[in-house]
Amino acid sequence: MLEKLSLKNKTIVITGGGTGLGKEMCLAMARAGADLVIAARRLEPIKEVAKLVQDLGRRSLAITTDATNTSDVKTLFETTLTEFGKVDALFNNAGIVREDSPKPIWDIDDENWRVGIEVNLSTAFYCSREISKHMAENGGGKIINIASGFGFRGGRDNYMYAAGKGGIVNLTRAMATSLGKYGITANCIVPGFIPTEISDPDSKRSKERGKFIPIGRVGKPSEMGPLAVYLASEASDYMNGEFFALDGGALAGGIAPTLHAPEIPLEI
Ligand SMILES: NC(=O)c1ccc[n+]([C@@H]2O[C@H](COP(=O)([O-])OP(=O)(O)OC[C@H]3O[C@@H](n4cnc5c(N)ncnc54)[C@H](OP(=O)(O)O)[C@@H]3O)[C@@H](O)[C@H]2O)c1
């Protein structure tokens, strides 16, 4: 049974894999046997993660990529296909979490809007568009998008992130509906509050925030790993167009960090 979860001989491309949740998903998938191509704008973090993947005995490549730039995206997949010959799964994980701080709508300029939507939504479209034909010709593949609870509800003064992640949710549905016949599935992970390196899950602040979550605590980045492995593996072959909230019951429990009562801090 567990053989179905093995990622041995699978080539997986992930955007934003040098930090936070992306890094943990890379390490989990490498432990499950996958080779990883890791793409982001900064070289140092993705190089470090590629090295950690290699230390686990897998092949890995760090490719500097601004996933909002379609020529970078083309190069990313051309290089991957030259080096690995195929792409079995794509994780669209790049996103702006902290830079996209909430502000009143009249203070958001064209550039803020354009960049916010480009990073939080268009990167997933550009990468999926670039590789899906190869996947179709190769007999199939898996696309895993990373959304957010904000893709399912609004947040006060939160425009580009919420609109972008809402777009990711429906892009997943559109791809699941359209690409299924080519053997390509599209699914979506919906993380809740998962502090990454900037805050400690055991800090007083994290504990305070955990009180608002049904399970009583915030998430740990490593908890993304098993779900990533499952969605990249054959064990999930019949899953298509699904949303997997990894949030301690936050959406189920109706927790809404909208900055309306009950108020909780938005930053992680
Ligand atoms: N942590 C949470 O609580 C949480 C909750 C809900 C959803 N999420 C989602 O989970 C994903 C990962 O977030 P995280 O918490 O791990 O934050 P993070 O550490 O800031 O990860 C975001 C990654 O995206 C990359 N990135 C940003 N812009 C990019 C671009 N134009 N091209 C390529 N890569 C780009 C960044 O690398 P570079 O800066 O080097 O490009 C970074 O590695 C995001 O989509 C986020 O929205 C996180």
Q: What are 123-146's pLDDT values in tens digits?
A: 999 999 999 999 999 999 999 999
Report whether CATH 3.30.70.360 matches the domain 2-246.
Answer: no
Q: What is the pLDDT of residue 263?
A: 55
pTM to 2 decimals?
0.95
The residue type of 220 is: K
Say how many Å lie between the CA of residue 19 and the centre of ligand 1.
Answer: 7
Q: What are 54-64's pLDDT values in tens digits?
A: 999 999 999 99
Name the residue of 36, 37, 41, 212 whose CB sits within 8 Å of the most ligand 1 atoms, as the mutation to test its pocket.
41
The ligand 1 atom at the shortest distance from the C-alpha of residue 197 is: 19
The ligand 1 atom at the shortest distance from the C-alpha of residue 119 is: 31
* Catalytic residue ranges: 161
List all residues whose CB is within 6 A of at least one atom of ligand 1: 15-16, 18-22, 40-42, 45, 65-68, 93-97, 119, 123, 146, 148, 191, 193-194, 196, 268
Q: What does the domain layout of the chain look like in residue ranges?
A: 2-246
Q: What is the pLDDT of residue 112?
A: 93
Q: What are 49-99's pLDDT values in tens digits?
A: 999 999 999 999 999 999 999 999 999 999 999 999 999 999 999 998 765
Mean of all residue pLDDT scores within the chain: 93
Count other Cβ atoms within 10 Å, centred on residue 149: 20
Pick left, alpha or beta for residue 183 (phi over 0 → left; psi -120 to 50 → alpha; otherwise beta).
Answer: left
Name the residue of 97, 168, 169, 222 whose CB sits within 8 Å of the most ligand 1 atoms, as the mutation to test its pocket.
97
Residues 23 and 221 sit within 8 Å (Cβ to Cβ): yes
What whole-number distance in Å separates Cα of residue 194 and Cα of residue 199? 9
Say how many Å lie between the CA of residue 27 and the centre of ligand 1.
Answer: 16
Which residues are registered as beta bridge partners of 189?
Answer: 146, 244
Structure tokens at 75: 């190069």
Choose among 165, 161, 28: nearest CA to 92.
165
DSSP 149-169: GGGTS--TT--HHHHHHHHHH
Name the residue of 13, 21, 42, 188 whose CB sits within 8 Å of the most ligand 1 atoms, as the mutation to test its pocket.
21
